[in-house]
Amino acid sequence: MMNKGQSYELTIEDMSTEGQGIGRAEGLAVFVDGAVVGDVIKAELTKLKKNYAIGRIVEILEPSAQRIEPACRYAKDCGGCSLQSMNYEEQLRLKKKIAEDKLIRIGGIENPIVHDTIGMEKPWRYRNKAQFIVREAGGAASLKDGPSEPAAVGFYRAKSHQIINCDECLIQSEPAEKLAKALRKYMKTDHISAYDNKTGKGLIRHLIVKTAFGTGEIMAILVINGKGLPNMEKLVYIMDDAIDELSPDPDTGVEFTLESVILNINKKKTSEILGEQNITIAGKSTILEQAGGLNFEISPMSFFQINPTQMVKLFDKVLEYACLTGEETVLDLYCGVGAIGLYSAIHAKRVIGIESVKSAVIDANRNAVINRIVNAEFICGKAEEELPRLLEQGVKADVVILDPPRAGCDPILLDAVAAAGPDRIVYVSCDPATLARDVKILREKGYQFIEAQPVDMFSWTGHVETVVLLSKVDK
């Protein structure tokens, strides 16, 4: 009989979507953080359930050929990059397998065509948005080689709410690291309190840094539990000096400049990061990004693809699947700030985007103006409600692009999409499970799965973006 605390020798035969190695002990699946396919390990059971167990590595008896030494010194503590012990080529193979397995098991597709994952040439420093948690250092994890500061500015420890006070993160931009360091300095010298999520007291909750890699423009957003910050001008100067220390990007030659400092007011005792009020305390209220030949204004609340280098590859695949000739009406549903729709507009007759977040729709229409795109419009509302109205007005959808949040599409929307009867549906998803679920529904409504293309937008993590092409059966 298996018991918590027992140790077993496991051969890791598979990986979970969260990046855990999977072995078997007495016929039961055991999930182990940090284990890699091919490892032979000694694992202690830390949790025992009816159908599975959780274990931790006690000793690596035989390392896998795919195992590498993590490049980041926080890899064993931080919960951000679960695949740092696996070489990059194996990560790409794993992500293809994840997408393939979900389409088979959930989507009900036999032998789906899933192409090799599109990877990065340099899978580091790719994130254009860093979201640092700010807490009192006493509530943070202590690392021997980590910074000693009164305030912890970092990320969650794996499977906990304890903060790792990271002074370096190899997937974030260097400007983000510099601004986190500047914030620590300011909080220390000016005795600024960090937020306590248990009591609801303390001033600074989060630091969000947005980096426009195409232009070098930087936005710093300070989320605070109050009306303002003491000595705000001093903080802006410290941050500005920190960015000025940076060298131009070695690949593009772009110089980084701090263009925007925003206070976001969030006094609610909630897990939501951003409040509703933004105050510009220095510079502009937006920054400008350039990607794929287009300009995008990025505001504090707007969503933008986290990896702009891979975003262009992703959008190129969307265009390939959409197969536009210049005569099509394209519906871009869950359009966000309109990035995919605007990228498609030059190849289409008309693009109509629908998005429920008002600020994103404002950004999308503004981005259309900035790029002098006159055949794209963006509507605020729920796609499942707005789409039927468009059909009643006589709009014919030739191609539908779906890019929903992680939870996938509303079933009512899928009904509406099927009723619109587009020739092709291009579905972009960051969650292979909900993607496969929705593909199954669309297949039942008269659409055929053609193929899927995974794209590595989130290197060193277990996440994968996938683009799927579906075609109307009579086409």
Tell me which residues are annotated as active site. 430
What is the SS3 assignment for 89?
Answer: helix
Q: Is 435 exposed, middle or buried (0-12, 13-18, 19+ CB in 10 A)?
A: buried
What are the φ/ψ torsions at residue 227 (nearest 5 degrees)?
Answer: -95, -25
C-alpha span between 153 and 136 (Å, rounded):
9
Structure tokens at 375: 């055949």
137 DSSP 8-state letter: G
Report the side by side order of strands in the sheet with 163-164. Answer: 140-141, 163-164, 151-156, 129-136, 204-211, 217-224, 257-265, 277-283
Are the C-beta atoms of 21 and 30 separated by less than 8 Å? no
**Residues facing residue 297 across a β-bridge:** 288
Are the C-beta atoms of residues 455 and 117 closer than 8 Å to each other? yes
Q: Where are the beta strands (DSSP E) in 267-311?
A: 277-283, 287-291, 294-298
Distances (CA, A) of 115 to 54, 95, 96, 150, 447: 32, 11, 7, 49, 20
Tokens standing for 42? 């000694």
Residue 55, beta-bridge partner list: 32, 45
CA distance 193 to 201: 9
**How far apart (Å, rounded) are the C-alpha atoms in residues 133 and 273?**
9
> What phi and psi, each to the nearest 5 degrees, are found at residue 417?
-65, -45
In a 10 Å sphere around its CB, with 0-12 CB exposed, 13-18 middle and 19+ buried, how is residue 440 labelled? middle
